């Protein structure tokens, strides 16, 4: 880590002056305003890294309680992280340093809380790591289990806006916790996880119930040597499920910034489901999914459900009910939840848990209402009814129990009693006590949900057609 104080032509003159007055209170500087981080893969990228800047979710979180750095004038911190071995180097520059009432932030200590042992002391040592640790990834995954290969074609745009296609072989390797290689690799990935995954904390890789799924890109260099580059990874915990089963819970997933929005995260998620099905675990769950990941997850699951024949009949029945006149004119508006038998079939065959299936169920109905414009009012009605029950059901005198209309195989409609399960995510929306404001909040939630469904449905429909070999504009 390099640290230097930048000189000024007026420094000596300032030192000669004697002033009497009030000392200036140190307002500090927010970490996000003085720190820039680059993820680079070579010395050339180190020298011209502008295209490889990364944007942490919350840098301020690592500096004091208020996220500020104190005691410096003109502070600028530049950090480079190697995407080869994930060592890091920080260059710290400032005009002056003094205690102006709030102390002087220990920058080295603060940076080490993020980068730990990966933070090297000098630029030369950092650049040397590119050659010395060129095989870092290959060495640490060499004893892992290769689960799946896939060829990816990636469009590359140069500085002149010319595009070209580059094909690469991508594979997913499984590493099990409790061994040295897994611990070595994960310890180097912790800083990027802390910086890029909101609310993340390190896992205990000494616990053999943890598994890492590493997405690697295999390329051949000019000497004909096969090189491995990291695209992303996920951390999954294997829980015991009574009496003799297990559940897989996805705790962390990260695709490096330069590889995002190119299908690699979806590929990794599909591999995780393949593992869950092949090993016949009870189900596959996700710990506190962020919005973007939940969008990808629901796209993947809805696409799988579109190909799952056992539920197509009940989806068709639910859709047909929404096409029978305007629901606003009826005294009772159904929620159209799937029967419990379908929920169980989906869990057993696809390993999609109930809560996630219900998210996808609404998308399946939306896709089935083609043309959607003709039935939008009815669709919004059932979403509105579901949102109201989820948020106000218990307070509206039902004591957590609600009566739902459900399509059934043995008769046109049936009714079931439903109680929210303790292990499902509870409603955390704070509703205003004022009824008018409450209704406005509900309508906003309904609109947000309908927009989410629309975006997912459009993406799923596109992918579904592509999988069938239909050209999509």
| Interaxial angle between packed helices 435-467 and 376-392, expressed in degrees from 0 to 180 and rounded to the nearest 10 | 120
What's the token pair of residue 402? 């609600």
CA 59, CA 44: separation in Å to the nearest integer? 26
CA 451, CA 420: separation in Å to the nearest integer? 25
- Asked if residue 30 has a cis previous peptide bond (ω within 30° of 0), the answer is no
What's the token pair of residue 70? 């104190």
Please say if 287 is a catalytic residue: yes
- Asked if residue 371 has a cis previous peptide bond (ω within 30° of 0), the answer is yes
**Selection from 133, 125, 140 nearest residue 186 by Cα:** 140
Complete DSSP assignment for 117-165: GGB-S-HHHHHHHHHHTTTHHHHHHTTSEEEEEEEEEEEEE-TTS-EEE
Complete DSSP assignment for 209-266: TEEEEEEEEEEE-TTS-EEEEEEEEEEEEEEEETTTEEEEEEEEEEE-GGGTTTTHHH
Sign of CA dihedral 216, 129, 59, 193: positive
What's the token pair of residue 173? 């390797």
Q: What are phi and psi of 226, to 5 degrees?
A: -80, 125
Q: Which of 287, 424, 448, 466 is catalytic?
A: 287
Residue 295's Cβ-side half-sphere holds a number of Cα atoms within 13 Å equal to 15
**Selection from 319, 255, 263, 334 nearest residue 290 by Cα:** 255
DSSP letter at 22 equals: P
Q: What is the distance of C-alpha 234 from the center of its chain?
A: 10
CA 382, CA 317: separation in Å to the nearest integer? 15
CA 59, CA 33: separation in Å to the nearest integer? 9
Cβ contact 230:137 at 8 Å: yes
Active site residues: 287
């Amino acid at each position: 880590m390099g640290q230097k104080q930048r000189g000024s032509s007026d420094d000596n003159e300032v030192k000669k002056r004697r002033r009497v007055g009030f000392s200036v209170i140190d307002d500090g500087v927010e970490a996000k305003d003085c720190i820039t981080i680059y993820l680079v893969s070579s010395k050339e990228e180190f020298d011209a890294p502008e295209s490889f800047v990364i944007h942490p979710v919350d840098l301020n979180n690592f500096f004091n309680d208020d996220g500020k750095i104190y005691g410096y004038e003109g502070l600028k911190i530049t950090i480079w992280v190697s995407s080869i071995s994930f060592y890091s180097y920080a260059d710290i520059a400032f005009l002056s340093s003094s205690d102006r009432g709030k102390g002087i932030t220990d920058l080295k200590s603060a940076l080490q809380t993020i980068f730990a042992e990966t933070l090297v002391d000098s630029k030369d040592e950092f650049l040397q790591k590119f050659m010395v640790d060129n095989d870092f990834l290959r060495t640490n995954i060499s004893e892992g289990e290769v689960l799946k290969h896939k060829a990816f074609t990636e469009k590359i745009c140069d500085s002149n806006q010319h595009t070209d296609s580059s094909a690469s072989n991508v594979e997913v390797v499984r590493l099990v916790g409790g061994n040295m290689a897994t611990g070595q690799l994960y310890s180097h990935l912790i800083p990027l996880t802390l910086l890029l995954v909101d609310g993340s904390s390190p896992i205990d890789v000494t616990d053999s119930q943890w598994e890492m799924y590493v997405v690697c890109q295999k390329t051949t260099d000019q000497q004909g040597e096969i090189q491995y580059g990291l695209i992303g990874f996920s951390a999954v915990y294997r829980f015991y499920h009574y009496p003799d089963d297990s559940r897989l819970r996805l705790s962390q997933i990260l695709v490096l910034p330069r590889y995002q929005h190119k299908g690699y995260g979806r590929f990794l998620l599909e591999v995780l489901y393949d593992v869950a099905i092949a090993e016949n675990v009870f189900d596959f769950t996700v710990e506190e999914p962020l919005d973007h990941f939940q969008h990808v997850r629901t796209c993947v699951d809805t696409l799988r459900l579109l190909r799952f024949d056992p539920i197509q009949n009940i989806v068709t029945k639910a859709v047909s009910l929404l096409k029978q006149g305007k629901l606003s004119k009826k005294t009772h508006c159904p929620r159209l939840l799937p029967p419990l038998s379908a929920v169980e079939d989906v869990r057993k065959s696809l390993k999609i848990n109930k809560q996630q299936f219900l998210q996808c169920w609404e998308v399946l109905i939306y896709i089935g209402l083609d043309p959607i414009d003709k039935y939008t009012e009815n669709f919004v009605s059932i979403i509105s009814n579901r949102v109201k029950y989820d948020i106000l059901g218990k307070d509206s005198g039902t004591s957590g129990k609600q009566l739902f209309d459900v399509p059934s195989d043995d008769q046109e409609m049936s009714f079931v009693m439903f109680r929210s399960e303790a292990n499902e995510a509870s409603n955390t929306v704070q509703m205003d006590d004022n009824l008018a404001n409450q209704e406005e909040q509900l309508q906003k939630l309904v609109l947000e949900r309908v927009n989410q469904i629309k975006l997912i449905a459009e993406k799923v429909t596109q992918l579904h057609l592509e999988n069938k070999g239909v050209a999509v504009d």
